[in-house]
Structure 1
Amino acid sequence: MTTDEPQRPDLARELIARATESATHRAKRVRNQLDAVQLGQGRHTDHANTSVLRRILAEHDWPGHRLVGVSGARAAWSIALHSDHDYAFQRAATTLLERAVQAGDALVQHWAHLHDRVLITSGRAQEYGTQLLLSADGIELCPLRAPASVDARRATVGLPPLAVALMAVRRRYPPDSSADEAPTVVLVGAA
């Protein structure tokens, strides 16, 4: 990976701005701080972000570290990860991200998260245990293939043991016993 200036800082800025706005919106959604109009606006933003990333992928392939820098590549990954409304796009993005990983231009951890998300959104069990459901009952691991060997698979992509990742997510999303309503069920990621 490179620490040089990205080739397309303009794309990096756009991706970062879009991903930051979406992350702020998702944090409010997780905490039930959005009304119906705001929820709809968030869906519109996700669709718009997917369209922008689709255009970038068509023009440049995966926007990796060389093209948009580390922060821009992370933003692109975040946008792809939250493109659940477009499974075909998410699956294609996973393939392009995998190629970028193989070329040393993206993080394998990002690929593992996106790979798991595609598996979950298609109704299959995930490989690396990165996808969780956050609900009124707490944090729940999405279906996982061969749970006994998940930590070995996680190690191959540089992820910590699942118990460590779950502890971090539980610290990030503590139960809110003061909430008036049960929180919406939300798919979240674990490192």
Structure 2
Amino acid sequence: MTTDEPQRPDLARELIARAAESSAYRAKRVRDQLDAVQLGRARHIDHANTNVLRRILGEHDWPGHRLVGPTAARAAWSIALHSDDDPAFQRAATTLLGRAVQAGDALVQHWARLHDRALITSRRHQEYGTQYQLCADGIELCPLRAPESVDARRATVGLPPIAVALKAVRRRYTPDGSADESPTVVLTGAA
């Protein structure tokens, strides 16, 4: 086994498959293309994914690059990011991901986005400006602590200035400049 191969390819495959299925539902949800049954299925998938990741965290700590490889580590992050129905789990996952970042086994940008998401789901203001809301009027930044210093905080974790990130997210989710979505959907910043 080379150092580039994950220690647990079985976990890697499971994480990647679960995150891909959840992502497909989320893409349709953002475009308001899911009926009530499909919405329920998407919620069930996210709940099941949370439970699987909870088990993995309990057995292995954060599934970082060494354990599952970069693609599956990203999948684990995505699963944690979308565990909105369990804010306590999201906070615990943020702590474990932070430890993996300190050990050089995960990306600090993933930690920053998960940290912000955990704050938002706990009804607090985010730190790095990575979480957005898709509203009837377009895409808005979720509540932000100390907006005047957000770019300095973003720079510490390798994120671009907030204006650049917000422009990229708006372009990604409203390519024609319109946002007719009536429900509010929390989005994670792509930039």
Q: Which one is further off, 168-177 or 84-93? A: 168-177
1:19 maps onto 2:19 in alignment = yes
Counterparts of 1:26-175 in structure 2, within 5 Å, are: 26-174=26-174
Q: For 1:136-186, what per-residue CA distance to the aligned partner results, in whole angstroms no more than 9, with x for missing partners?
A: 21001011011011000000000011111111111111177899x744210
What displacement does 1:123 show? 1.1
On the 8 A contact 1:133/1:187 being kept in 2, the answer is yes
Partners of 1:19 and 1:75 within 8 A in 2: yes
Q: Is the 8 A contact 2:151 2:161 kept in 1?
A: yes
* Offset of residue 135 of structure 1: 1.6
1:187 partner letter: V
State the alpha-carbon separation in 2 of the partners of residues 22 and 108 from structure 1. Answer: 23
Q: Describe the superposition over 1:71-128 as per-residue Cα deviations: whole angstroms up to 9, x where unpaired.
A: 0000000000000000111110000000000000000000000000111111111000
Deviations 1:20-73 (A, max 9, x none): 111110000000000000000000000000000000000000000000000000
- The answer for unaligned runs of 5 or more in structure 1 is none
Q: TM-score, normalised by structure 2?
A: 0.95
Residue-pair matches, total: 189
Q: Provide the rounded CA distance (Å) in 1 between the counterparts of 2:17 and 2:155.
A: 32
Report which structure shows greater RCO (CA 8 Å, sep ≥6).
1
> Against the structure 1 CA distance between its residues 116 and 178, is the aligned structure 2 distance closer, same or farther, given a 3 Å change threshold?
closer
Give the % identical residues: 80
AA partner of residue 53 (structure 2): L
d(CA) in 2 for partners of 1:6 and 1:107? 16
What stretches of structure 1 move > 4 A for 4+ residues in a row?
175-179
> How large is the Cα RMSD of the aligned pairs?
1.7
